[in-house]
Every structure is written in structure tokens, then in C-alpha cells.
Amino acid sequence: MCGITGFIDFNNVLDRPDLIRMTDSIEHRGPDGVGYSNWILEKATIGFGHRRLSILDLSESGKQPMAKHGLHITFNGEIYNYCEIRKELIDLGYKFISDSDTEVILSAFDRWGADCVHKFIGMFAFALYHKENNKIFLFRDRAGVKPLYYYWNNKTFLFSSELKAFHQIPSFEKQLNLQSLAEFFQYGYISTPNCIFENCHKLDQGHYLIFDLQKGSFLKKKYWDVFNCVKTRKEKLTEEECLETTESLLTSACNYRMVSDVPLGIFLSGGYDSSMVTALIQKERTQKVKTYTIAFEDDNFNEANHAALVAKHLQTDHHEMVCSMEQAKSIIPMIADICDEPFGDSSIIPTYLVSKMAREEVTVALSSDGGDEQFIGYSRYLKAIKLGSVMNKLPDFVNKTIGSLGSTVASKDRIREKIWQTFQCSNISSIPSIQTQNLFSREINQLIRGVSIEGVIGNLSYSTDLNSLFAAEYQHYMQDDIMVKVDRAAMAVSLEGREPLLDHRIAEWAFQLPLGVKYRNKTLKYLLKEITHKYIPKEIMDRPKQGFAIPVIDWLQGDLSYLISQYFSKKRINSQGLFNYSFVEQHLKRFKNKSPESEVFIWHMLVFQMWYDKWLK
């Protein structure tokens, strides 16, 4: 796990000092080493930077940027099956001087070109300079676990693991993208490929970008699409076959992610996903695996007792950190620095705290995200399935007519209004986005000056398949909320986070399974729960689902209320020229009267204001 940066400058203004500033701005992603490479070509100046967090091959031979076969690379992530690919390449006559997966990427690209990406099992974002072909390639993994931003404006192309590197370049124009700002207030995050700044984007999951240095232009290519996984259905499999294959894939994914030359641990919440991952890893090892849990003083937000029971049953080397609410509150001012794009998921606070605790003993930690989205784990999915089933029975024009008629009478009922919006959209894939929006488009138009939007924001593939509900969640919520949270929180403390449940082979399998085998007899996440019960008694696991949450709203209505006074004054809001203060004031009054409808908006506005002070002032 590392941090990468770089530039392609057709103005020939940027040089090595610029590259050094960009690279050093993300030192937290790789405190173990640093490397810079730059080239002056006839038409452009190129720079590659790398911050190293040593995980595999800790020697100098693993240092980056790395060069081989006339190829140069700066790489963030892990190729978990690199040993198998390395052996295949050795059989083809290739020789290696290191034990790193980075060198394997270079030889694989030399052999198979961009198609080498189809061989990789892993999480990755890397830039590769092909000197002979005069092209630069940017790759991002299938699930979007590893971030990759790029900026293209005034003949300058920048790329980096985090936006903060771009702020080191004087020509970087920090012009807000109002559509992305609207999306933030609608969902609490900004979906790929959008970005908070104009001319700035995130590379999509399962895509690579080819920059032609001769032409001075680039194009993007899709090499993997989660929606393609939905198109084939495995209807004839028995439940036993489904369980056997699922467990086999999960075990393989977990074992791949245990390969490391540095200490490794597992985040254990005591919920089904983290407990199952821990069980699958511990069952094949005699040495106790290290597990980590964060405990809160407030029992309403504390899962530590459940995690301790699981750890005791599995006999792990368990570690628990008791966190005071004061410690949690102290993270709020840091959010804008940890997330250099507005980000509204408050669970980044406990994620940061547990990452910080784990980093005291290990360099790599396994998380268990992805189970809910791939195997139907949220109760809201059941409502989505019912709604989608109704829509599929009706022609599009009937759905749209129902939505139009309903919208005329539902303005005071937010739940019904979302239902009518779904009918109007008449796209199964849109249901999760409509369900989870915090502000309707009409409200956003009232809030943000100069913005006019309709419906939900985001690029949603059209589908009538109910499995596309979860493919849409995988493509948007998983990539742009959960993965951003985990990556930024972990890397802020120089911890590598690994995600076994986001192995692309699991997605390809899970999205082909019929819904009836993933949700059965009113049991959410049926397959994963059955696998878990093989190793942990049901009576230990059987409890209500609990999110990784903290009471930020209670804090803002209590001893942190000064933040509201500090960031929500009429003078401040009006001076920004972005928002209509009357809308903000209306929600402030509701918030002070403890109206739940305004709580999320107030938190998101606070997050944005802190971000604004950090990155735009």
C-alpha cells in the first residue's frame, strides 16, 4: 500500500521540485520510502512520484518508481496472485531480481500489454509509462478499492492517490463543480467519476486510461463491469452447491490477503461479516491471528462485548481499545484533512480510531466490507426488491404515469415521494440511490445557487434485473462511500487495509446467484450466515444488526454546539456565494428543535464548511 502522484505537462513548466511537493504531500500513505522519476521529452515534461509503505519485499529492490523492459511504474496496492503470475512469466523466459508484485506487473505488461490486468487479483491503482509507444497508462482495480484522481486542464495532466497533491501545483484551478456539490448534499459523497473540482475526476472502477503523449490526449477503456456479472443466472444450483462454492471463494480471497512480510491483523466488530472472515482465516492456522475492536463508553454504540465473545470462541489474539467520546469528538476537525473532498459518512471517525489502534502493532489490517451489498444484508434492500418486482410487472409508461400522478400529492411525505420518484425513473438500478438520498432535487435547487437538477444524480446503468439493485450499490455506495472511508482512515495512520469480500471473483459469483438463495425465510445474508454458523454458534451471532456509528448529532446539539455557531452564521454563508441562507436557516431552526429531518443536512453542511476552510480559503 502506497501513494502515487505524477504529471504530464505540455507547457514544460513543471519540474522535479513540483513532483517532490506533490509526492511529499501524501507521505502518510507511505512513510517507509520515497522515489521520484522525471523525463523531459520534446513535447512534454513527465514526473512520477511514489511514497512507499513496505509490505512485500522490504529490500531496496522493491523501491519505486520501478523500471524494466522500457516501462516505468508507480504503483499503489497489492496483486495478491503475483506469485502464480510470476511463475507463468518465468516459464515464458522472464527473469526477476526482486520478490515484489511491482516487478511482476512490469513483466506482465511487457508480455500481454494492457490485457495483463485481467490476470490480476487484487486492489491497485498504478501509472505506467511505455517509453517506446510514447503512452502513459493509468489503471484502477475492479472494485475501486484504491483511489486514483486525475486533472486535465490548460495542457497539464495531474494524477494522484489523493486530491491534496494537486494543491501543490500553482496552475491547479480550485473551481467548485456545482453538480458535484449537489451530489454531496444528496448522498453525503461524490460518486465516480465526478469530483468536487472542475476538470478533475476519479478514474472509474474497472477502467484504465491511455494518454497518448504524441497526440496530447487520452481515452478511457472499461475492462470490467459489475453489471455484466448480473447477466448470467445460476438458477439450477442446489443450496449445498451454492454454500460450497461461496465458502471456497471466500476462503481463497481471505488466504490471498494474508500474504505479507509485515505484521497483520483483522478488524473484528462481532457482526457476521467480520466474524466469518476471522473464522475462515483462523481455521487454517495454528498461530492465533490478531483481532482488533474499538469499544465505546456508551453502550448504545458499543459492539465490543459481541466481538470479545467471537474472539474467545475462535481463540484469536484479541485487542480491545476503549475510546472515550472525547477522543471521538477530537477527530471531527481532522475530517477535512483526512478526506480532501467533502465526505459525510460520520463512521469515518470510529474507523480512524480503530485503524490508529491497530497500527500500533500491525501494518496490514483486513476489513470485511462488501458482504451486505453482494449478499443482501440491509433491511432496506427488502423494500427495494418488493418495489422492483412491482415495477417489472408494469410497462414503462405505466410506471412513469404512476410516478407523475403520485408526485402531485406526496410532497409532505418523504417516503412516498421516494416511491413515486422510483416509478418515474422506471429503472431498477436507481432504487438504492433514490432510497438513500438525503435531499430531493427540488431542495438542492433551493439550497445551492445556480444549480438546477432533476431526479437523482449519478451515472446509473439501466436494468430490469433485481440483482442490478445490488450491482448499483457496489458501483456507487460501496466504491464512493465505504471504500473512501476505509482507505482514507487507514492510510491517514499509514495502515494498509485489505478487503477479502471485495475480491472480484466473489462479485462475479454473488451477482449471478438468484435472490432466493441469498435471502431466505426472512433471513438477510442467508448464505454468509450459514457459513458463519459452521464455525461460530448461532446463539453467539444471532443479534440485531448494528452499524458502525457514533452520536455526532447529540454532540452538535450538546457540547459541540459552538461548531454550529462558528460555521453557520449568515455572514459566513452569504460570503461564500454558494448557498441560499434562507434554506440553511430553516434547517437550523428545525435542528435546534431536534427535528430528525434536518440532522443529516446539518452534519453535511458542517463537513463542507470545515472542508471549505481547509482547501478553499
Which residues are designated catalytic? 2
Contacts of residue 446, defined as CB under 8 A and 6 or more positions apart, other chains included, come to 580, 583
Contacts of residue 565, defined as CB under 8 A and 6 or more positions apart, other chains included, come to none
Render the burial of 473-498: b for 16+ CB within 10 Å, e for the rest: bbbbbbbbbbbbbbbbbbbbbbbbbb
The single-letter DSSP state of residue 448 is B
Q: How far is Cα 400 from Cα 75, in angstroms, rounded to an integer?
A: 47
**What stretches of 408-482 show up as alpha helix (H) in DSSP?**
414-425, 431-436, 441-447, 468-473
Contact, 291 vs 365, CB < 8 A? no
The single-letter DSSP state of residue 601 is H
Contact, 279 vs 532, CB < 8 A? yes
Contacts of residue 328, defined as CB under 8 A and 6 or more positions apart, other chains included, come to 296, 349, 350, 353, 550
Contact, 202 vs 193, CB < 8 A? yes
The answer to whether the bond into 65 is cis (omega within 30° of 0) is yes
Residue among 519, 378, 487, 448 at smallest CA distance from 186: 448
Contact, 511 vs 466, CB < 8 A? no
Contact, 81 vs 121, CB < 8 A? yes
**What stretches of 211-271 show up as alpha helix (H) in DSSP?**
239-256
Q: How far is Cα 106 from Cα 278, in angstroms, rounded to an integer?
A: 33
Q: How far is Cα 205 from Cα 430, in angstroms, rounded to an integer?
A: 19
Residue among 304, 238, 329, 316 at smallest CA distance from 277: 316
Q: How far is Cα 86 from Cα 108, in angstroms, rounded to an integer?
A: 8
Q: How far is Cα 46 from Cα 39, in angstroms, rounded to an integer?
A: 5
Q: How far is Cα 67 from Cα 204, in angstroms, rounded to an integer?
A: 26
Alpha-carbon torsion angle 142, 146, 152, 157, nearest 10? -110
Residue among 315, 329, 234, 242 at smallest CA distance from 282: 315
Residue among 22, 4, 19, 265 at smallest CA distance from 125: 4
Say whether 579 sits in a helix, a strand or coil: strand
Contacts of residue 82, defined as CB under 8 A and 6 or more positions apart, other chains included, come to 101, 104, 105, 122
Determine the Cα angle at 122 with ends 120 and 123, to 5°.
Answer: 125
Count of Cβ atoms closer than 10 Å to residue 409 Cβ = 11
Contact, 400 vs 424, CB < 8 A? yes
Contacts of residue 168, defined as CB under 8 A and 6 or more positions apart, other chains included, come to 18, 21, 22, 25
